[in-house]
Amino acid sequence: MKNQIRLVVLGMVSVMLFFASCIPDDNSDLNPVDKFLGTWSVSDNAVRLNYQVTISSNPLNSAEVLMSNFADLGKSAVGLVVGNTIVVEGQTLVGNYSVSGTGSYVSDSRLNFNYELNDGIDVETRQATFSK
């Protein structure tokens, strides 16, 4: 009888531990795109430009963002969010101007972007700080 009680108790404890390990972390429900959203003031170090970029979620793809006025070109670039990084694959924004690069989430008030701007003749390597 004692062995049966021990087995039942051991079984109940095992089941409780199994279900406790299945409880999601508090951060698992957060969308990784959310931390990038909003209007950012940009300081583009290469050419000492200051402008604003608004980052919004892409309604066609939940893993992407739209960055309006990226590189101060007045058009939107599409970026894929991978964890704490935005990846901008090569894309033409205006005329012959194309961009590619990455942006890193530093904090709620700062992003760092390293990207290339190609005007069809010259390729500029730029570093930009996005801040709120």
Per-residue pLDDT reduced to its tens digit, 119-132: 999 999 999 999 99
Average pLDDT, the chain: 85
pLDDT in tens, 59-95: 999 999 999 999 999 999 999 999 999 999 999 999 9
Do 69 and 52 meet the contact criterion of CB atoms below 8 Å apart? yes
**Class of 31-131 in CATH:** mainly beta
Cα separation, 89 vs 40, whole angstroms: 21
Global pTM value? 0.76
How many CA atoms, within 13 angstroms, populate the side-chain half-sphere of residue 83?
Answer: 4
Domain boundaries, the chain: 31-131
User: Rounded to an integer, what distance in angstroms lies between the CA atom of residue 43 and that of residue 51?
Assistant: 7
Distances (CA, A) of 76 to 10, 55, 94, 101, 119: 59, 9, 10, 14, 16
107 pLDDT band (50/70/90 cuts)?
Answer: very high
29 has pLDDT over 60: no
Query: Sorting pLDDT into bands at 50, 70 and 90, what band is 45?
Result: confident
Give the C-alpha separation, 93 to 6, whole Å. 69
The 3-state DSSP class for residue 7 equals: helix
Please give the torsion angle defined by the CA atoms of residues 93, 94, 100 and 103, in that order, rounded to the nearest 10 degrees.
Answer: -70
**d(C-alpha 37, C-alpha 25), whole Å:** 23
The pLDDT value recorded for residue 10 is 45
